[in-house]
Structure 1
Amino acid sequence: MSPSVQTIRWGIISTGGISTAFSRDLLVNPATRDANDIEHRITAIGSRTKESAQAFLDKLNDLPQDEACRWGVDHGKLKDCKAYGSYQEVYDDPNVDCLYIGTPHNFHYENTKGGLQGGKHVLCEKPFTFDLKELDELIALAKEKKRFLMEAVWTRFQPIAYEVQQIVHSGKLGKVKRFSADFSTDMKPDNFPLSHRIIAPELAGGGILDLGPYPSVWTMMVLYHHPDNKKTPPKLLQSRQTLYHRTNVDEQTTLTLGFEALNVEADLRTSFTCQGLAGNCVAVQCEEGDLIIDFPPYKPTTYHVVPHADVGKIKEAKTYHAKTHPGGAMHYEADEVARCVRDGKLESERMPWEESRIVQSWFDDVRRAGNTVLKDRHGKAG
């Protein structure tokens, strides 16, 4: 018997660019990615003013006919959607099942807490929270309220993530010997106002929280989940942060993690003033050959298996193009939420709380070991 169709009524918290991208993906026909057991509707938009929420909704209703997300508009997935001038009104709306939190980092804790207290399931953008204490409080609240909670690490649910894991974990490339992952992009921050989220301390700006989740997700998927690692958390061996001259948040961060069960060190790097390598944002170096993922690490579509000349069993280099579907690829994580809610789960097996905790813990350690303006700042827990 095929699973019943699960309909999730979404409330969107914040009307910025990331919320726009997520909302558009909710409106793509799930059948185009073989998700015939899933249906998404958007029933509420929350913003700081009703006018901005309505403007956001109007733009969704006016999507061009030639875009994949237009399907949802034409099939009533925005029907009766309400525009609210506060987040609390979305938390209180009985026609909302699940919230998508797309606010800046420093608001994730309070917005997620408000949603859980309102009886909603929550998908919160990464980084989940500012620090581990905030995250632990939210997890405890989700358990108390019996509501689903997940960090929106969308890369985990893209087809390429499953493909890369299968190749490395199968042993076809031999044992992993070394690992590196980099998300660096020259954002030209000197052109930004001091209030821009990437450089503003009051918005928990800096590279480690904004860019760091992407090198981290590949580290977790490839190494933490490697069968030989047996889900043993890594140790932070060293880290270094350089300061952005205008606001003293971290402009560039490097850190090294040790996976003792694999005898592998993982080097992670972020920067918002230096462009990363186009063809090598993730490198999994193994005995028989290397698996190289092309930029960008948040949504790559191409990877390569490169042999070690005259050494291993792999003799020819091969390039792979991962499967893609219409839309921007954020719908995969939304489908996961719908299925977990349908099945009565409080957390996702693919993106469990404990793995969010592991990554958040090394973000905390790196920040406290550095010399940024956020070094000694604490979150709002308690």
Structure 2
Amino acid sequence: MTPYTLRWGIISTGGIATTFAKAMGSRSVPSAEAFIAKLRSAGGASAHGAKHGALDKATPYGSYDEVFADPDVDVVYIGTPHPFHHPNAKAALLAGKHVLCEKPFVMDLAELDELVAIAKRKNLFLMEAVWTRFHPIAYAVQKEIHSGKLGKVRRMTAELSSYAHLDERADNDRMIDPKLGGGALLDLGPYPAVWSMLVLHQHPDNKDPEPKVLGSAQRIYARNGVDEQSSWTVRWDELGESRILCDFTAWTPRDCAAVIDCENGQLVIDHPLYRPERYRILPHPSTVAGSSESTPPPPRPGQITEETAHHYPIPAGNGMHYEADEVAQCIRDGKTESARMPLAESRVVQGWFDTVRKGGDSVLKDLVGNAGK
């Protein structure tokens, strides 16, 4: 097959953009130049790409508009803070560029609907950068659950918590600054949400295209008024429910960031949910000697009786090259969205975030995005 080259424009020179660029092989020209220099000097895949000329034609720009106007740019990767995703993506689409935008896609549903409408009108590719969906372990977990080997899903829990030392952060730190979309919901929430979508929403038995939030709660960080913890429960009618937690004040249990409880056993995914490298299949506690029952009942047909562990190491760069490959293949084949990360599913998750935010008491409760502006 003839090699296909996709020419990327990268918006932002921050940490996530650097990770993305390294995996593939600004606001000022000096910042952009330093960004390119950092990629040249980095090890791993970035060094390999630089050695083979991948950065030879990289151009530093002092404004995003210059990137959007460059005829040598096919697709724009947007890694700016949350509130800038919509205006940056909108400008790129209006300039005729395909777009891959970091999560959370936008600040509210109206912003997302506007981007989708523009992309469809201009026949451009648009995708939220939920890179975890493309990891080999994500496909493997889905295969285990969707095969029916573990029986019907009863429920699942998914958590991403990270003790963020909020009191030690400046007021303008992106994690707690309301102007930058701060708070646990938008910073951490996309990661446990993705496993709920992969396991339940994409389950072959799912007939509920718009699962609703049954209940939610937020705990507010008093100094800045953003949420330091958010939790919510989503129900897929006639299939199952997921309880989701994200928290800036504690740590996720290391070996059970997500637990999928099924009729015949449990599937447990390690921390961190954005790039886990192991899952285990476990018997139910009632089948294990030493449980609360003095004599565990004999296993039913199909019931899991032994623990097994399954390892899927992630390469450097958080495995973001899998996502970049998906974008390239879709654009090469003339597709305007990814079947693995469809826009309708981004809309489902954005709806959850809107519901949780509006149901809480953070300073972002009544936020209205930039749609139409």
TM-score range, shorter chain: over 0.9
Write the distance in 2 (CA, Å) between the matches of 1:25 and 1:321: 21
The corresponding residue for 1:178 is 155
The corresponding residue for 1:14 is 12
Match of 1:161 among 135, 138, 141: 138
The corresponding residue for 2:356 is 366
Write the distance in 2 (CA, Å) between the matches of 1:177 and 1:82: 52
Check whether the contact 1:206–1:249 (CA below 8 A) recurs between aligned residues.
yes
For the pair 1:234 / 2:232, whether they are aligned, the reply is: no
SS in 2 for 1:96: coil
Write the distance in 1 (CA, Å) between the matches of 2:254 and 2:194: 18
Check whether the contact 2:109–2:347 (CA below 8 A) recurs between aligned residues.
yes
Write the distance in 2 (CA, Å) between the matches of 1:145 and 1:228: 34
Write the distance in 1 (CA, Å) between the matches of 2:311 and 2:225: 40
How far off its partner does 1:370 sit?
A: 0.6
For the pair 1:277 / 2:253, whether they are aligned, the reply is: yes
Amino acid at match of 1:51: P
Amino acid at match of 1:57: I
How far off its partner does 1:231 sit?
A: 5.1
Write the distance in 1 (CA, Å) between the matches of 2:108 and 2:307: 42
The corresponding residue for 2:309 is 319
For 1:1-382, list aligned pairs within 5 A.
2=1, 4-27=2-25, 47-64=26-43, 67-230=44-207, 232-262=209-239, 264-308=240-284, 309=287, 310-312=298-300, 313-322=303-312, 324-325=314-315, 327-382=317-372
Write the distance in 1 (CA, Å) between the matches of 2:119 and 2:45: 34
SS in 1 for 2:39: helix
Amino acid at match of 2:14: G
How far off its partner does 1:246 sit?
A: 1.2
Check whether the contact 2:208–2:236 (CA below 8 A) recurs between aligned residues.
no
Amino acid at match of 2:178: P
How far off its partner does 1:297 sit?
A: 0.3
How far off its partner does 1:146 sit?
A: 1.1
Write the distance in 1 (CA, Å) between the matches of 2:41 and 2:66: 24
Write the distance in 1 (CA, Å) between the matches of 2:317 and 2:355: 36
TM-score (norm 1): 0.92
Among all aligned residue pairs of Structure 1 and Structure 2, give the percentage whose two residues are the same amino acid. 53
The corresponding residue for 1:34 is none
SS in 2 for 1:123: strand
Please list every run of 5 or more consecutive structure 2 residues that lacks an aligned counterpart in the other structure.
Answer: 288-297
Taking only aligned residues, the RMSD between alpha carbons, in angstroms, comes to 1.1
Deviations 1:12-46 (A, max 9, x none): 1000000000000010xxxxxxxxxxxxxxxxxxx
How far off its partner does 1:69 sit?
A: 2.3
SS in 2 for 1:314: coil
How far off its partner does 1:327 sit?
A: 4.4
How far off its partner does 1:260 sit?
A: 1.1
How far off its partner does 1:323 sit?
A: 5.0
Check whether the contact 1:288–1:311 (CA below 8 A) recurs between aligned residues.
no
The corresponding residue for 1:38 is none
Deviations 1:76-98 (A, max 9, x none): 11112110111000000011111
Return the structure number with greater strand share.
Answer: 1
Check whether the contact 1:185–1:271 (CA below 8 A) recurs between aligned residues.
yes
Deviations 1:184-230 (A, max 9, x none): 11011111111111100001111111111011100000001111113
How far off its partner does 1:233 sit?
A: 2.4
Deviations 1:342-365 (A, max 9, x none): 010000000011000010011101
Deviations 1:253-276 (A, max 9, x none): 1101111121x2210000011111
Check whether the contact 1:225–1:231 (CA below 8 A) recurs between aligned residues.
no
